[in-house]
Chain A
């Protein structure tokens, strides 16, 4: 084949690909970005990565009469731009998401407009090339970008929760395009999330948690653990995050993504991950006086005096702490979460099973 012939073939192929991409747009299958056309051959490559039956149902939206099975997951993984070897990660993510209980609530249809945060742990991070150390919430790394995107495409295409219809987000969040990070276990001074949850260090896992956004938190000028943690707790507790849908107070949770510099500073001064979570739990809230000033004092504590501390949550278990990002600055991130109808800590993690 000559170079000229290859160029000609490439041009024809590109025209054909564009035509198929436009077809996918016309079918309403995309998130606004182009997708890879999910032809059967591609889908079969993904299904070959698992022993699970293509018809096995993974998620159910009973009130919408919609489900997602293994085949639909593969189709959306192809469209999202995943490589076939990513598919076991996506299957584990769907299992974790289902186990978290979130898909059985109305959260994906809520005006709060929440995203699915995926956290990957274990050796698979390096085997597949996940980014865990720099620009973790930003673009640039295929496993993070495409696996996160695949789960959102499944929500839209398989579960039928699309914007302007069943997705009733008032503003949503850009994290709904894709939000998949990996823990920076190498730069973390603490046990990683999956070990904290009882998995072997050699296991690879994915954890899924619905979040409202990712909130930047900076403290570069202190070596005092309490100053850094108080800054994190303040960001977790900001007035805008307090939810008032009914007279009954909605409890809040948070995924606290601590940058390595903060984590190492805390650990050097003797703070374990448990100590950090306990401090954040005890300072996760506002005084009644502050809430009164914002007009957000929950009715159940309406008579409280100004100094009374009103906690956002009831248990340290509603906080998740992971270490991720580059070890190059005093920056961390809070991913706020509403705790309605599901748990944050104990169920939303699954081991990634790879076909032999």
Chain B
């Protein structure tokens, strides 16, 4: 996310991709870097244990949204990506 916002600042349009468990740090990093609400691609977790074909499938699945962020074509995903709140801290009163 930091890399993506740095590219943006230098004028290079960027589609940052994170897996869904990293949504909170991604949002926080975007805020710190001066891009609150920065739009990025949320990909299913995990990635590191996949084989090459599975990674290719994941890439295909998010390609429309990558293109949409880059303004190549209108490819808004049918379902809005959301963070996995199981990883959020429990706040008690």
* Number of chain A residues whose Cβ lies closer than 8 Å to a Cβ of chain B: 12
B62 to chain A: closest CB distance in Å? Answer: 20
Contact A245 B89 (CB under 8 A): no
Q: A63-B2, A164-B89 are in contact. Are A245 and B48 (CB under 8 A)?
A: yes
CB distance from B35 to the nearest CB of A (A): 13
Contact A166 B48 (CB under 8 A): no
In contact, B28 and A166 (Cβ under 8 angstroms): yes
Contact A164 B88 (CB under 8 A): yes
Instruction: Verify A165–B25 contact, CB threshold 8 A.
Output: yes
Report Cα–Cα, A244/B29, bound state, in Å.
25
Q: Taking the complex as formed, is A355 at the interface, i.e. its CB lies under 8 A from any CB of chain B? A: no
* A39-70 residues at the B interface, CB under 8 angstroms: 63-65
CB pair A65–B32 under 8 Å, yes or no, is yes
Residue interface bits A57-94, CB-to-B below 8 A is 1, else 0: 00000011100000000000000000000000000000
B22 at the interface (CB under 8 A from A): yes
Interface residues of B, count at CB 8 A:
12
- A64 & B32 in contact (Cβ 8 Å cutoff): yes
A194 vs chain B, min Cβ distance (A): 36
A231 at interface (Cβ–Cβ under 8 A)? no
User: Which one of A65, A160, A164, A244 lies within 8 Å of B24 (CB-CB)?
Assistant: A164
B22 touches A166 (CB 8 A): no
Beyond A63-B2, A65-B32, whether A168 also contacts B48 by CB under 8 A is no
Q: Is the CB of B29 within 8 A of A164?
A: no
Contact between B24 and A165 (Cβ–Cβ < 8 Å)?
Answer: yes
In the bound complex, what is the Cα–Cα distance between A65 and B31 (angstroms)? 11
Q: CB-nearest residue of chain B relative to A66? A: B32
Cα of A232 to Cα of B29 in the assembled complex, Å: 40
Interface bits A155-189 vs B (CB < 8 Å: 1, else 0)? 00000100111101000000000000000000000
Q: Evaluate contact between A109 and B32: CB separation under 8 angstroms.
A: no
Q: Is the CB of A166 within 8 A of B2?
A: no
Q: Is the CB of A168 within 8 A of B25?
A: yes
State whether B2 touches A164 (Cβ < 8 A): no
In contact, A166 and B25 (Cβ under 8 angstroms): yes
Per the bound structure, the CA–CA distance linking A356 and B66 in Å amounts to: 61
Contact assessment for A166 and B29 in the assembled complex, using a CB-CB cutoff below 8 Å:
yes
Q: Could you show 20 A-B contacts with beta carbons less than 8 Å apart? A: A63-B32, A63-B33, A64-B29, A64-B32, A65-B32, A109-B25, A160-B32, A163-B89, A164-B24, A164-B87, A164-B88, A164-B89, A165-B24, A165-B25, A166-B25, A166-B28, A166-B29, A168-B22, A244-B48, A245-B48
B interface list, Cβ under 8 A from A: 2, 22, 24-25, 28-29, 32-33, 48, 87-89
Q: Which residues of A contact B (CB under 8 A)?
A: 63-65, 109, 160, 163-166, 168, 244-245
Nearest first, the 6 closest Cβ-Cβ pairs linking A and B are A164-B89, A165-B28, A63-B2, A168-B25, A64-B32, A166-B25
